[in-house]
Structures are given as C-alpha cells and as structure tokens.
Amino acid sequence: MSENGFHVHGPHDHELEHASQHGGSDSFTGRIAVTTALLATVGALFSYQGGATQANAGMAKNNAAIKKTEAANQWNYYQAKSGKQNLAELGLELAPSSKRDHYTQAIERYKEEKADIKKNAEKFESESKDWDDKSDQLMHLHHRWAQATTALQIAIALSAIALLTRRKWLQWGVYGLSAFGIALGLLAVAHF
C-alpha cells in the first residue's frame, strides 16, 4: 500500500487474491500440470532406454561384422590349404615312386588341417549370425521405445494445447495418448 492509501498490485497477485476469495485452485490446470510433469519424467526414461538399446544394437552389429571377418579369414586360410593340397596331389601324379609317400602324407595332413579350419570358419559364421539376430532384436526394442517416447511427447504437446484452450476433450486426448505411450513402453519392457 502506498502512502496515500492507493494500492497497486500485479496480475499474479490479483489471481492469487481471486483464487483465495473464490474457493481456491483450478483443478483443470492442476491436473494438466501434474500429468505433463509425469509424462515428461516417463518420457525421459523411455528416451534413455531407447538410446541405450540403439547403442547396444550397434555394438551387436559391430560384433557380427568382426565375427564375419574372422570367418572370412578362416575361409581364406582354408582355400590356401586347398591350393597346397592340390599342388601335393599334382606332385603325387608327377613324382617318382620314391617321393610318393611324402606327397601322400602331405595330402592327408592338408585334409585334416582343412577340416579343423572349416569347423572354425563355420563357428565364426554361426557367432556372426547370433550377433546379427541380437542386433535385430535390440533394434526392434529401440523402435518400440522410440514409439513410446514419441507418443508421450505428442501427449505433452497436446496437454499444452488443452491448457491454453481449456478444452475438456483435449484433456481426455492427453490421457488416452499417454496410456497408449505407456502401453508401448510396457511392450518394450516385455521385449515384445
């Protein structure tokens, strides 16, 4: 209050005074505010999970590529042994009888070595496929988390519109879209 009894206050003070005189709070605004805060919190958690699953999917894809490269190296080694075996077989055909035992033993050794190399190559190929499958599963989860986050972000935007327009049907739209987003998040938690 000023010295002359004239009192000036701002719009916020006026709203507080009005609310206290006419029964308190605006439940519509309060519900929208709390809903928006909860949606932002859950959306942040969903966004984190989406980023984590995307990073893990990338790591799994990288591991698949590493295993595929190891398999290719083994197949190259297998081909090198096959070339040596072919030369030994040619040597067996062309060599005098005194050298035939040497080439026969070499051919058998290459066959045994190739069998072991083939097992390793197939093992690496299997591991690569497993990592690829894991990456695909994680990318599916990432997409589910991203869908859930997007639904919650749209619900937050819709809540701002509902608050500005004070439309009750928009408030129900916020609740419906929020439920949909949370359901998508639960599907991601269940790895579905």
109 located within any domain:
yes
Question: How far is the CA of 32 from the CAs of 149, 154, 160, in angstroms?
Answer: 18, 14, 8
With a CB cutoff of 8 Å and minimum separation 6, the contacts of 134 are 60
Question: How far is the CA of 124 from the CAs of 43, 77, 116, 118, in angstroms?
Answer: 39, 14, 13, 10
Please count the structural domains in the chain. Answer: 1
10 located within any domain:
no
d(CA 140, CA 122): 27
9 located within any domain:
no
124 located within any domain:
yes
101 located within any domain:
yes
d(CA 131, CA 125): 10
34 located within any domain:
yes
Range of the domain at 177: 27-189
152 located within any domain:
yes
Q: Is 139 exposed, middle or buried (0-12, 13-18, 19+ CB in 10 A)?
A: middle
CA of residue 136 relative to chain centroid, distance: 9
How confident is the model over 74-124, as pLDDT tens digits?
Answer: 999 999 999 999 999 999 999 898 889 999 999 999 999 999 999 999 999
How confident is the model over 132-187, as pLDDT tens digits?
Answer: 999 999 999 999 999 999 999 999 999 999 988 888 899 999 999 999 999 999 99
d(CA 190, CA 183): 10
What is the value of pTM for the model shown? 0.71
